[in-house]
């Protein structure tokens, strides 16, 4: 066997863990740190200095030369600006590396080039990063050297959130406060907070880097903008959970190592449905850390791929005709005394709490289905939701047969005394049943599925941050908890009140429950009849952020201000237009400079052949037929290219961000499809030797 791995020793090696802090900090300072971490507040300047020094000493010993405030601007990826620990040399020219508490706690990147959606004019471009004490600092090792990364929130001079972390942290506080009110109603006096747990399963594609570098579309857009289907797709189901190829296996091994060093508990790996598609799942953890870790997972996936001569594609739909990639956001709520609110439990008392939590979640998801759908949208995910080869973008909740039946009984008779699959259930203080875990099968087509003790939000795009979906989930559930607690806290007869409330919420919001095939045409019709929203594209979903319903909810729980929501809407329109614009320009470039010239060369060659064959006295019918076919397609492509160019010029004239985004969605995207169609047909006709790009078959099947 190869060199053995000591995973336990490696795990968290590059993280400034609590364990390490405890070891190297004076007890008092560590205690103060823990108190602020758990309860909020501010660290004293002197303690911050001590922590900064300890952090720097640890980092420098591990080879670090720089530190960075690592943050998550609204681009959806992370940002960093490196500063060396270097200080002014003394008179003898000797330099001591330093890092102060001030530098640890606050940074001021010149942030004028990050999207702010009007929150900050360039002339007042101050943006601040503030240390997120709840997420551990870590070391990044690469060609740049070793960099100490400090997770931070990013805000404007006036305190508006310019990032994804700040609202996430605010939403975690909100849901914690409201959930505490719920567990208190059931006699839990010990819990001091309720923390969302998140496990984000990450899908990705791996292709050969040499081939990647020959495709401008992959380089600029992250997805293929042209490309005829390979003779084989995923119809044989032979890739899903298939044996992992050696080269991919070596990649996964290396990836796991890097992630373990960063304290990411990468746990599960397997081949996914599409050829060249894979998945990695970590063990769930505190929502904030899980979001940071998912960013590190994505970044590390790309980095490690390079070392193996591979490229990792995180785009939601890199290849037409085979599955796209998503991210399953597994979410639950746990008290700090170990109770998972989404665990059906074993005693009737826990059961009522669970059913109340469930009723609140159904209410939240039904009331804000539009927001939830929005939170899972990004440009690439438009190919996965509501598009041609994709499931509809309708939010519904899968509960499983048994739970759905319980809900039905509660709604119709007000009591649930029986469970499906036979057996009577224990009925205790109330007339509510005990629930068996895993009593039903899974449903892979549901966008929001209950899976035993958590919900699995499956709409999220593979390249997107999971911050927004979790922020929204926490927010809408906080609101439902708050409304329930407002009523129950003042109820005279609690048992009766909770019973009525569960019945009321379930009756009112049962339309959101759907256990059938979410990918079917019938469901689209049925959902429409039920009045469920079906926002087909990211652009259609943007305005959900600025409805009065949304603003009221987000402001009430101090997660977003009205201004922050409007800025986000503006940024989303901008991001959409810019992304499609890059795609369109890449298509124009590829068609004009490589595809058309190649096809012309080929027609010339065919024409020469026709003449030569004729001269030789044979019939050139086959060659002529091919020539006509290719010429016709070339003409079609030429016309489509002209139209795309004209419309691109029109798009550039538009100044209203919303109008522009819709123009890109409705006009430019249609033009792009019209251009792709004849080109993909040409790819099937033109001599492979001449075709300028690696084909789908080359990329998906030859690693
Ligand atoms: P599945 O097969 O349903 O996708 P797994 O058990 O493999 O389930 O879990 C998938 C992801 O869900 C993993 O990241 C796992 O850590 C996470 N997960 C499991 N339990 C919970 C929970 N209670 N809360 C949040 N995430 C969870
Ligand atoms: Mg899953």
Pocket test for ligand 1, best of 194, 196, 198, 199 (most atoms within 8 A of CB): 199
The set of residues, in sequence order, having a beta carbon less than 8 Å from that of 35 and lying 6+ positions away, is 41
Last residue of a domain, one of 162, 186, 211: 162
157 & 304 share domain: no
Task: Kindly report the protein residue whose alpha carbon is nearest to atom 24 of ligand 1.
Answer: 332
425 falls in which pLDDT band (50, 70, 90)? very low
194 & 333 share domain: yes
In a domain, 570, yes or no: no
Atom of ligand 1 nearest to the CA of 199: 14
- For position 350, what pLDDT does the model report? 60
Cα 169–chain centre separation: 17
690 & 580 share domain: yes
Lowest-confidence region among 193-197, 239-243, 412-416, 474-478: 412-416
Please give the average per-residue pLDDT across 275-298, as a whole number.
97
Atom of ligand 1 nearest to the CA of 342: 23
Residue 26, phi-psi category: left (phi > 0), alpha (psi -120 to 50), beta (remainder): beta
CA of 109 to the centre of ligand 1 (A): 37
Q: Which ligand sits closest to the CA of 454?
A: 1
**Separation of alpha carbons 229 and 274, rounded Å:** 13
- For position 442, what pLDDT does the model report? 66
138 & 50 share domain: yes
338 & 468 share domain: yes
- For position 115, what pLDDT does the model report? 77
- For position 434, what pLDDT does the model report? 53
- For position 114, what pLDDT does the model report? 76
How far CA 88 is from CA of 63, 85, 99, 102, 518, in Å, comes to 20, 10, 12, 17, 63
pTM above 0.75, yes or no: yes
Q: To the nearest 10°, the Cα dihedral for 465, 467, 468, 472? A: 150
Last residue of a domain, one of 279, 296, 325: 325
486 falls in which pLDDT band (50, 70, 90)? very high
In a domain, 429, yes or no: no
**Separation of alpha carbons 700 and 641, rounded Å:** 27
Q: Which ligand sits closest to the CA of 327?
A: 2
pLDDT at 431 over 80: no
In a domain, 428, yes or no: no
406 & 460 share domain: yes
Atom of ligand 1 nearest to the CA of 281: 14
Q: Which ligand sits closest to the CA of 444?
A: 2
Atom of ligand 1 nearest to the CA of 332: 24
The set of residues, in sequence order, having a beta carbon less than 8 Å from that of 543 and lying 6+ positions away, is 569
- For position 415, what pLDDT does the model report? 67
CA of 283 to the centre of ligand 1 (A): 7
What is the three-state SS of 300-331? HHHHHHHHCCEEEECCCCCCCCCCCCEEEEEE
CA of 202 to the centre of ligand 2 (A): 10
Lowest-confidence region among 302-311, 391-400, 470-479: 391-400
List the CATH number of the domain containing 652.
1.20.120.1560
179 falls in which pLDDT band (50, 70, 90)? very high
CA of 241 to the centre of ligand 1 (A): 18
Pocket test for ligand 1, best of 284, 290, 450, 458 (most atoms within 8 A of CB): 284
CA of 457 to the centre of ligand 2 (A): 9
**Separation of alpha carbons 338 and 327, rounded Å:** 26
pLDDT at 542 over 70: yes
**Separation of alpha carbons 104 and 363, rounded Å:** 42
In a domain, 318, yes or no: yes
336 & 380 share domain: yes
Please give the average per-residue pLDDT across 254-277, as a whole number.
94
What is the residue-averaged pLDDT of the chain?
A: 92
Pocket test for ligand 1, best of 268, 280, 454, 470 (most atoms within 8 A of CB): 454
CB burial readout 394-428, b (16+ within 10 A) else e: bbbbbbbebbbbbbebbbeeeebeebbeeeebebe
Q: Which ligand sits closest to the CA of 457?
A: 2
**Separation of alpha carbons 487 and 482, rounded Å:** 9
Q: Which ligand sits closest to the CA of 452?
A: 1
492 & 597 share domain: no
CA of 94 to the centre of ligand 1 (A): 53
Please give the average per-residue pLDDT across 23-39, as a whole number.
96
Last residue of a domain, one of 266, 293, 325: 325
Lowest-confidence region among 321-330, 409-418, 510-519, 532-541: 409-418
Q: Which ligand sits closest to the CA of 328?
A: 2
CA of 62 to the centre of ligand 2 (A): 36
CA atoms within 13 A on the CB side of 355: 36
- For position 407, what pLDDT does the model report? 84
| Location of structure tokens 């080269």 | 247
**Separation of alpha carbons 524 and 251, rounded Å:** 40
CA of 409 to the centre of ligand 2 (A): 29
79 & 24 share domain: yes
CA of 116 to the centre of ligand 2 (A): 34
- For position 420, what pLDDT does the model report? 56
- Strands 145-156, 64-70: parallel, antiparallel or unpaired by DSSP? parallel
List the CATH number of the domain containing 11.
3.10.20.70
- For position 392, what pLDDT does the model report? 84
Please give the average per-residue pLDDT across 260-275, as a whole number.
94
List the CATH number of the domain containing 270.
3.30.590.10
In a domain, 569, yes or no: no
76 falls in which pLDDT band (50, 70, 90)? confident
CA of 159 to the centre of ligand 2 (A): 37
State which residues form the domain around 652: 575-701
CA of 199 to the centre of ligand 1 (A): 6
- For position 422, what pLDDT does the model report? 38
478 & 585 share domain: no
Bigger pLDDT: 227 vs 108: 227
Please give the average per-residue pLDDT across 30-35, as a whole number.
97
Tokens of 32: 């103060």
Name the phi and psi angles at 513, rounded to 5: -80, 130
Please give the average per-residue pLDDT across 546-555, as a whole number.
98
429 falls in which pLDDT band (50, 70, 90)? very low
- For position 597, what pLDDT does the model report? 98
CA of 318 to the centre of ligand 2 (A): 21
- For position 604, what pLDDT does the model report? 97
CA of 273 to the centre of ligand 1 (A): 19
144 & 275 share domain: no
Atom of ligand 1 nearest to the CA of 282: 14
- For position 68, what pLDDT does the model report? 95
Atom of ligand 1 nearest to the CA of 331: 25
Task: Kindly report the protein residue whose alpha carbon is nearest to atom 1 of ligand 1.
Answer: 451
Task: Kindly report the protein residue whose alpha carbon is nearest to atom 8 of ligand 1.
Answer: 451
| Residue 283 contacts residue 312 (beta carbons within 8 Å) | no
pLDDT at 452 over 50: yes
321 & 362 share domain: no
**Separation of alpha carbons 152 and 295, rounded Å:** 13
Please give the average per-residue pLDDT across 297-312, as a whole number.
97
Please give the average per-residue pLDDT across 176-194, as a whole number.
97
Query: In the chain, what percentage of residues exceed pLDDT 70?
Result: 93
Q: What is the pLDDT of residues 325-369, one digit of tens each?
A: 999 999 999 999 999 999 987 655 568 899 999 999 999 999 999
Q: Which ligand sits closest to the CA of 473?
A: 1
Please give the average per-residue pLDDT across 474-497, as a whole number.
97
Tokens of 448: 């929001």
Atom of ligand 1 nearest to the CA of 451: 3
CA of 531 to the centre of ligand 2 (A): 28
| Domains contained in the chain, number | 4
Pocket test for ligand 1, best of 330, 438, 448 (most atoms within 8 A of CB): 330
In a domain, 491, yes or no: yes
* DSSP-derived secondary structure for 60-112: HHTTEEEEEEEB-BTTSS-B--EEES-----TTS-------HHHHHEE--B-T
In a domain, 427, yes or no: no
Q: Which ligand sits closest to the CA of 283?
A: 1
> Ligand 1: which residues within 6 Å by Cβ?
197-199, 201, 268, 281-284, 330-332, 340, 451, 453-454
pLDDT at 427 over 70: no
- For position 338, what pLDDT does the model report? 93
Atom of ligand 1 nearest to the CA of 200: 14
Task: Kindly report the protein residue whose alpha carbon is nearest to atom 2 of ligand 1.
Answer: 451
Please give the average per-residue pLDDT across 622-645, as a whole number.
97
In a domain, 363, yes or no: yes
639 falls in which pLDDT band (50, 70, 90)? very high
Query: In the chain, what percentage of residues exceed pLDDT 90?
Result: 77
């Amino acid at each position: 066997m190869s060199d053995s791995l000591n995973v336990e020793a490696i795990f968290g090696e590059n993280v400034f863990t609590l364990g390490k802090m405890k070891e190297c900090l004076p007890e008092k300072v560590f205690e103060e740190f823990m108190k602020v971490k758990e309860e909020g507040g501010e660290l004293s300047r002197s303690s911050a200095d001590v922590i900064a020094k300890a952090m720097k000493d640890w980092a420098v010993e591990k080879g670090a030369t720089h530190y960075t405030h690592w943050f998550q601007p609204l681009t959806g990826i992370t940002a960093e600006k490196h500063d060396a620990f270097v200080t002014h040399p003394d008179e003898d020219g000797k330099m001591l590396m330093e890092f102060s508490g001030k530098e640890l706690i606050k940074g001021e990147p010149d942030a004028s080039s990050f999207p702010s959606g009007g929150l900050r004019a360039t002339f007042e471009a101050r943006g601040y990063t503030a240390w997120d004490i709840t997420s551990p600092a870590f070391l990044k090792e690469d060609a740049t050297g070793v960099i100490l990364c400090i997770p931070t929130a990013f805000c404007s001079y006036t305190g508006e959130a310019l990032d994804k972390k700040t609202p996430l942290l605010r939403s975690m506080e909100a849901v914690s406060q409201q959930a505490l009110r719920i567990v208190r109603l059931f006699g839990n006096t010990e819990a001091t907070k309720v923390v969302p747990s998140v496990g984000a399963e990450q899908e990705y594609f791996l292709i050969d880097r040499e081939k990647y570098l020959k495709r401008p579309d992959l380089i600029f857009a992250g997805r293929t903008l042209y490309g005829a289907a390979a003779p084989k797709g995923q119809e044989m189901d032979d890739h899903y959970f298939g044996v992992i190829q050696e080269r991919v296996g070596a990649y996964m091994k290396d990836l796991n190592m890097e992630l373990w060093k960063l304290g990411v508990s990468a746990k599960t790996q397997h081949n996914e449905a599409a050829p060249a598609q894979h998945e990695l799942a970590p063990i769930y953890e505190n929502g904030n850390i899980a979001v940071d870790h998912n960013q590190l997972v994505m970044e590390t996936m790309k980095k490690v791929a390079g070392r193996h001569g591979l490229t990792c594609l995180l785009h939601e739909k890199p290849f037409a005709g085979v599955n796209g990639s998503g991210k399953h956001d597994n979410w639950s709520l746990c008290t700090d005394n170990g109770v998972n609110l989404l665990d059906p439990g074993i005693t009737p008392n826990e059961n009522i709490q669970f059913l109340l939590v469930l009723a609140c979640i159904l209410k939240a998801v039904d009331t804000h289905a539009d927001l939830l759908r929005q939170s899972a949208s990004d440009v690439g995910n438009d190919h996965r939701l509501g598009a041609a080869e994709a499931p509809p973008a309708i939010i519904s909740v899968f509960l499983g047969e048994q739970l759905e039946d319980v809900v039905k009984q509660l709604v119709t008779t007000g009591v649930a005394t029986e469970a499906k699959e036979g057996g009577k259930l224990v009925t205790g203080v109330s007339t509510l049943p005990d629930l068996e875990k895993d009593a039903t099968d899974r449903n892979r087509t549901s966008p929001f599925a209950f899976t035993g003790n958590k919900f699995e939000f499956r709409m999220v795009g593979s390249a997107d941050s999971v911050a927004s979906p979790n922020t929204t989930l926490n927010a809408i559930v906080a609101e439902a908890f708050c409304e329930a607690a407002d009523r129950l806290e003042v109820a005279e007869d609690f048992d009766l009140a909770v019973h009525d409330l569960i019945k009321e919420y379930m009756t009112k919001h049962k339309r959101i429950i759907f256990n059938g095939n979410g990918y079917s045409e019938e469901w689209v019709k049925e959902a429409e009849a039920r009045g469920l929203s079906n926002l087909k594209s990211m652009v259609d979903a943007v305005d959900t952020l600025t409805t009065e319903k949304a603003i009221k909810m987000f402001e009430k729980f101090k997660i977003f201000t009205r201004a922050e929501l409007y800025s986000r809407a503006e940024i989303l329109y901008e991001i959409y237009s810019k992304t499609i614009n890059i795609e369109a320009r890449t298509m124009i470039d590829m068609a004009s400079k490589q595809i058309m010239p190649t096809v012309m060369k080929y027609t010339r060659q065919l024409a020469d052949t026709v003449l030569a064959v004729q001269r030789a006295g044979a019939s050139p019918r086959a060659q002529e037929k091919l020539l006509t076919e290719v010429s016709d397609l070339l003409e079609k492509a030429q016309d489509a290219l002209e139209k795309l160019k004209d419309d691109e010029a029109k798009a550039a004239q538009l100044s209203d961000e919303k109008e522009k985004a819709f123009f890109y969605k409705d006009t430019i995207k249609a033009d792009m499809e019209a251009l792709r169609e004849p080109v993909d047909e040409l790819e099937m006709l033109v001599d492979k030797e001449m075709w300028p790009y690696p084909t789908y078959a080359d990329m998906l099947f030859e690693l």
